[in-house]
Every structure is written in C-alpha cells, then in structure tokens.
Amino acid sequence: MSDIRDDTRAGFESIFGYEAHGLWSAPGELRLLGDDSDYANGYVLAIAIDRRTVVAAGVRKDRKIRVASTEADEIAEISLDDVGPDQVHGWAAYPLGVAWALGQSGADLSAVPGLDLFIDSDVPVGVGLGSSAALETAVAVALNDAWQLSLDSMSLAKVSQRAENSVVGKETGLSDHIPSLLGEDHRAVLFDSRSLDSDQVSFPLSERGLALLVIDTGIERATDLAAERFSEREEASDAVKISSLRELSPKSLPEHRDSLSAVTYRRAQHIVNENQRVLDAAKALRTEGPESLGEILSASQASLRDDYDASGKEIDLAVETCLAQGAYGARMTGLGESGALYALVDESNLSLLQVALDGAFTEHGYQAPATYVVGPSRGALRH
C-alpha cells in the first residue's frame, strides 16, 4: 500500500498545487458465494481484497468540488449546489454521486466546504472485484470525515449504493459495498440482506498456505442477464405467493414445482440452494477451515451453470483446468459483464496452475486469461 499512497499524495499535489489534508482508502471485494442472493433477501459470503482505491482530499474555501483521477484525463468540477443525477456523467458520476447521495441521506450540503479529490487505484476494473464499490466507499469515508458527518458504516454503505443506483445508473445490492467497509484481515464477511446483520468469519488463507486466484477469461458477458434473472426470480415469488425466495428452503421448494415453469423452477432452485450453501460455507469455515469449501464451491458453480445458465465455455474450461490441477474448488464471480472466476488453491501450486491455464486456453484457441492473486483484507480506513 505504501507505493499507491505515496503516488496518490504526489498526484494530488501535482494536480491541485498543495498538499492533501487527508488520505483514505477502501478495498475491492470478492463475492465467494451468494451472487444474486441479496436481491432475494438472502445471504452473502464475501471478502474485502488486498487491492485498494485511495482518495486524497483537500478542503477548499468555496463551494466547488473538483475530482481528478489516474483513470481520466480531465478534472471534473461542479458546485455542491448543482450536484445531482442529471448533472454528472461518465467516471465522475461515481465520486460526485456519493456527494449527492450524502445530501439525500440527510447531510446538509449547504453547510459543508468544497473539496479537491484525487483518486488512484490498483483494483482491476471489469473483473468482478468490486472496483466501483471500492471507489464509492473510499470517497464516502473521505467525505464523511472531511465534512464531519459521523455516519456509521451501514449508512455509508447505503449512501454508496444509492450513488451507484441513482447517479451512475447501475443496479447493485447493498452487499456490494458491505465488504469494502466492514472487511477485516483474514476474515470473510457473512451478510444477511434481509436483517442487514453481518458477522466476521475466520478465513485464514496465508497461514494455511492457501490463496485465491482470480481468473479473467476476457469474454464479454450478456449485459441483460442480470435483468432477466431478476424478472424470473420475481415471477417465482409471485407464483408461490411469497415476498422473496428467502422464505423457501431446499426442503420446501419442491412442494411448489407444479406452480412454476421448468425454467423458473431452476432459477428459484439456484437462489434457494445458494442461500443454504452460504450458511454451510460459514459453518465449514468456523469448524474445519478454508480447505473444506471445495465441494460447496463446486456445487455453487454447477448451479450457476445448470440452474442459472450463467456460465460459458471459457469459464467451464477454466474451472475444469483448476480442478484438474488440484484446486480445492473454483467458481465464477457473478452475473456482471466480466467472465471471471476464482479458484481456491495451494500457494505452492499457483505457478503450475497459471501455466496450465495458459496451455488449456491456447489449445482451445482462446486468448490466455489474466490472473490476480487476492486475499482477505481490512475495509475502508483513513491513513
């Protein structure tokens, strides 16, 4: 982290001509289990990862908020009096949307000073590792401190979600932002999307010689898949007259088979069984350790492939290669636009696995995948 912190401070001073008054950061996140479960009031198991977005901030004497980033050529500038969903666009919608969402959540933006923000990040973009959540939560904690708002983590998660939904225009669940705020070293976060309760679960990878290898197959996913699955979940809930699929269990779901079409039943089956898999995984981590997750991850991937029709030939090839090379389990990361997955592996096997993946993809005529090694890290903080 020292390099990116130093780079962010230097970038701020280079752009704005004075030293930043403070430095904040938030991590990306990896959803271990529970994709789409949060939209059905279900359970999610995720980690904050050891890659972060860093924000340097300086307080201004006027009402302007200016935002610069290593990812953009221009500086976005707007008065705090004008910030809103229709006033900001492009990459600046993420940080400026947070400012607007804070105002919508009760902060008196007429009583706070303007700010200069400079943003740097080493969270990969478009790989299902929460780059948007890292950016929004890093900005949220920075503004929370700079404006002395004293909001708690759950409030900041809701602010970040509102910014992405209303200003950026992307639907996200609250669980997308929870790990970036609540993550801890060597822990996974178990989040209940209905009660909003969370619990830290021991996830000791490094001390047990384990690692998570994220594999980006480089394929483009269908951008309307998430919307289709949302409609199908709602159809299932309406058909069996319940508020959400959280109300069903793996034992009770078969009672409603005749009420649902074959496709809708498969969609419901994934969500209902995934909720149970999350709870089973948390229990296994507490009693046996990370190595015990293999069968659960494999079952989740099979369900995403067969019940949710969310996988693809490149992802299937990567999963098969990982398992053939001794991975404990491998699973795709979700329903976003990325074609990424992760594998739980022995650290000593990482190099051989990466070689095997390159070889398998080349043999099938695919471009070799990009890979990233990640581990559980702490959530957002001020440096």
Residue range 261-282, pLDDT digits in tens? 999 999 999 999 999 999 999 9
pLDDT tens digits, one per residue of 172-195: 888 989 999 999 999 999 999 999
Cα(286)–Cα(156) distance, rounded to whole angstroms?
A: 28
Q: Do the beta carbons of residue 94 and residue 164 sit within 8 Å?
A: yes
Kindly state the percentage of the chain with pLDDT values over 70: 98
Q: What is the mean pLDDT of the chain?
A: 93
Let me know if 122 is a catalytic residue: no
Res. 72 pLDDT band, cuts 50 70 90: confident
* Coil vs helix vs strand at 259: helix
Average pLDDT over residues 335-343: 80
pLDDT in tens, 283-331: 999 999 999 999 999 999 999 999 999 888 999 999 999 999 999 999 9
Average pLDDT over residues 142-161: 96
pLDDT over threshold 60, residue 198: yes
Q: For residue 1, name the pLDDT band (cuts at 50, 70, 90).
A: very low
Residue 231 to residue 134: CA distance in whole angstroms: 28
**Res 244 pLDDT > 70:** yes
pLDDT, tens digit (0-9, with 9 covering 90-100), for 154-170 = 999 999 999 998 888 78
Write down the catalytic residue from 176, 192, 216, 280.
Answer: 176
Domains plus CATH for the chain?
2-203 (3.30.230.10), 206-374 (3.30.70.890)
pLDDT at residue 219, as a whole number: 84
The DSSP annotation for 290-310 comes to: GGGGHHHHHHHHHHHHHTS--
85: confidence class by pLDDT, cuts 50, 70, 90: confident
Would you say residue 61 has pLDDT above 90?
yes
pLDDT higher than 80, residue 94: yes
**Could you tell me the pLDDT band of residue 137, with boundaries at 50, 70 and 90?**
very high
Residue 352 has pLDDT above 60, yes or no: yes
Residue 336 above 70 pLDDT? no
pLDDT (tens digit, 9 = 90+) per residue, 106-132?
999 999 999 999 999 999 988 889 999
Give CA–CA dist 34/254, Å, rounded.
21
